[in-house]
């Protein structure tokens, strides 16, 4: 049963969301991410604290709770984002876009990278001057969630039928096929949702209050990688906007309180449910969840695997991300994490990243269940 938006807003005025943020911050600090071995440094600890953008919206058990905590080399103890009562845009933070060098490399995460020498650009035209800066790590293949939503929009606008694109969406999401993504991006160009004088997909995200979800500079031939002039520095996501996108894909979630009551759904119910079902068939439980890696040396359990965790992951050498919806025996929440902890930090050759990420996933699950000790919150000034 949907909960009225005003009831959600009243709930967020309680201490419950602050308690969740405190628990999430404690969960990140407990993992010791600053000690993660870096293969590019011969196995020595990472030179600078990794960037971690972690957001959770919990519907059950207990009252609705929402939190976003962010860490980086500039925020070693973490920032707790200020969330509006209607769960709209974050306040008191400035997101800067990731950076790509002329050679296609990810400048911000190279060994020895000096952030003071890099020329940063705000991710959004509208930002708060003087607010603490957070660099938004490239989402890696989690960007394919945005592409899949684009195909869902095309379906609902009568530009195609879901049955015609389902064969592309399935491998793009469940096994993260790059070739399927090429085809999907080309389809979105042909149907007018990408390219042309504007970017209809970005506009749709902005219309639903998700302005940091951006798929820029892709090509009509289906190009979306660094070599295509897109990729790092052109395609953006943040944890807060991603959990709210997934909220709009979750039939079991209450109405989105940041949207006017008469706002039509982002996707029609049949399309929304079809896409959510694909997320539940995820094969790559290897970031916040770890079932694919069971049996690897030092294996660490994480979040429940798919289908309990309906999600999409993303990994490259420099990045690891994961976002999805958890339904587990009375527990219902959405989680998203974006990090600079890619395959160069892998615990074993078959792994996507450090075991600290599934350990964080298990700690997030405990936090939603109220099983973590509290610690003093780090509040963004």
User: Within a domain: residue 129?
Assistant: yes
User: How remote is the C-alpha of 151 from its chain's centroid?
Assistant: 19
Q: How far apart, in Å, do the first and last CA atoms of the chain sit?
A: 37
User: Within a domain: residue 378?
Assistant: no
CATH code, 212: 3.40.710.10
Other residues' Cβ atoms within 10 Å of the Cβ of residue 177: 17
> Mean pLDDT, to the nearest integer, of 253-281?
97
Q: How many domains does the chain have?
A: 1
> Residue 371's pLDDT is what?
63
> Residue 218's pLDDT is what?
97
User: Within a domain: residue 266?
Assistant: yes
User: Within a domain: residue 260?
Assistant: yes
pLDDT tens by residue, 324-349: 999 998 899 999 999 999 999 999 99
**Rounded to an integer, what distance in angstroms lies between the CA atom of residue 337 and that of residue 357?**
9
> Residue 375's pLDDT is what?
45
pLDDT tens by residue, 122-146: 998 777 778 999 999 999 999 999 9
> Comparing 5-19, 288-302, 346-360, which segment has the lowest mean pLDDT?
5-19
> Residue 1's pLDDT is what?
31
> Residue 57's pLDDT is what?
97
User: Within a domain: residue 340?
Assistant: yes
Residue 379, pLDDT > 70, answer no
DSSP output for 335-369: EEEEES--GGG-SSTT-SS-THHHHHHHHHHHHHT
> Residue 197's pLDDT is what?
75
Q: Provide, for the chain, the percentages of residues in helix, strand and coil under a 3-state DSSP scheme, each rounded to the nearest 5.
A: 35, 20, 50
- With tokens 């450090």, the residue in question is 354
> Residue 15's pLDDT is what?
61
pLDDT tier, 377 (very low <50, low <70, confident <90, very high otherwise): very low
DSSP output for 9-38: HHHHTSTHHHHHHHHHHHHHHHTTGGG-B-
pLDDT tier, 13 (very low <50, low <70, confident <90, very high otherwise): very low
User: Within a domain: residue 290?
Assistant: yes
> Residue 381's pLDDT is what?
32
Closest CA to 69 of 364, 372, 366: 364
**Rounded to an integer, what distance in angstroms lies between the CA atom of residue 232 and that of residue 107?**
10
Cα–Cα distance list, 143 to 48, 137, 208 (Å): 25, 12, 17
Positive or negative torsion for Cα 98, 104, 110, 116: negative
Cis peptide before 307 (omega within 30 of 0): yes
Domain that holds residue 152: 5-368
Residue 10, pLDDT > 80, answer no
Residue 9, pLDDT > 60, answer no
Other residues' Cβ atoms within 10 Å of the Cβ of residue 197: 4
Residue 6, pLDDT > 60, answer no
Kind of pairing, strands 90-91 and 94-96? Answer: unpaired
Residue 108, pLDDT > 60, answer yes
> Residue 282's pLDDT is what?
98
> Mean pLDDT, to the nearest integer, of 156-179?
98
pLDDT tens by residue, 225-246: 999 999 999 999 999 999 999 9
**Residue 107 φ then ψ, to 5°:** -60, -40
Residue 168, pLDDT > 90, answer yes
User: Within a domain: residue 380?
Assistant: no
User: Within a domain: residue 375?
Assistant: no
The length of the chain is 381
Cα–Cα distance list, 170 to 36, 60, 76, 186 (Å): 33, 29, 38, 16
Sort 163 into a burial class: Cβ within 10 Å, 0-12 / 13-18 / 19+.
exposed
> Residue 71's pLDDT is what?
98
**pLDDT averaged over the chain?**
92
């Amino acid at each position: 049963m949907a909960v009225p938006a005003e009831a959600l807003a009243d709930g967020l005025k309680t201490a419950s969301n602050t308690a969740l943020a405190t628990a999430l911050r404690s969960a990140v600090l407990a993992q010791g991410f600053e000690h993660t071995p870096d293969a590019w440094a011969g196995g020595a600890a990472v030179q600078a604290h990794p960037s971690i953008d972690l957001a959770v919206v919990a519907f059950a058990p207990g009252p609705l709770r929402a939190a976003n905590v962010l860490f980086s080399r500039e925020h070693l103890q973490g920032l707790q984002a200020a969330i509006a009562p209607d769960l709209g845009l974050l306040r008191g933070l400035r997101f800067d876009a990731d950076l790509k060098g002329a050679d296609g490399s990810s400048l911000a995460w190279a060994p020895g990278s000096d952030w003071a020498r890099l020329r940063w650009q705000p991710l959004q035209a509208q930002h708060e001057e003087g607010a603490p800066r957070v660099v938004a790590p490239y989402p890696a293949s989690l960007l394919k969630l945005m592409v899949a939503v684009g195909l869902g929009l095309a379906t609902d606008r009568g530009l195609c039928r879901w049955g015609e694109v389902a064969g592309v969406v399935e491998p793009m999401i469940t096994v993260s096929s790059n070739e399927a993504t090429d085809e999907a991006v080309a389809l979105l160009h042909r149907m007018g949702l990408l390219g042309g004088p504007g970017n209809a997909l970005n506009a749709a995200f902005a219309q639903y209050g998700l302005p940091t979800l951006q798929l820029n500079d892709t090509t009509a031939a289906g190009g979306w990688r660094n070599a295509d002039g897109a990729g790092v520095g052109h395609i953006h996501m943040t944890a807060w906007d991603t959990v709210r996108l997934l909220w709009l894909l979750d039939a079991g979630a209450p109405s989105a309180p940041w949207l006017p009551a008469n706002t039509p759904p982002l996707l029609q119910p049949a399309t929304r449910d079809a896409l959510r079902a694909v997320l539940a068939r995820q094969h790559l439980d290897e970031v916040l969840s770890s079932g694919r890696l069971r049996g690897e040396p030092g294996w660490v359990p994480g979040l429940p695997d798919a289908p309990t965790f309906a999600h999409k992951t993303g990994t490259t050498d420099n990045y690891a991300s994961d976002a999805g919806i958890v339904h587990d025996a009375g527990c219902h929440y959405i989680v998203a994490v974006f990090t600079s902890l890619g395959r160069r930090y892998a615990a074993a050759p078959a792994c996507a990243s450090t075991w600290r990420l599934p350990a964080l996933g298990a700690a997030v699950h405990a936090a939603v269940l109220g099983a973590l000790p509290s610690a003093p919150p780090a509040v963004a000034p």
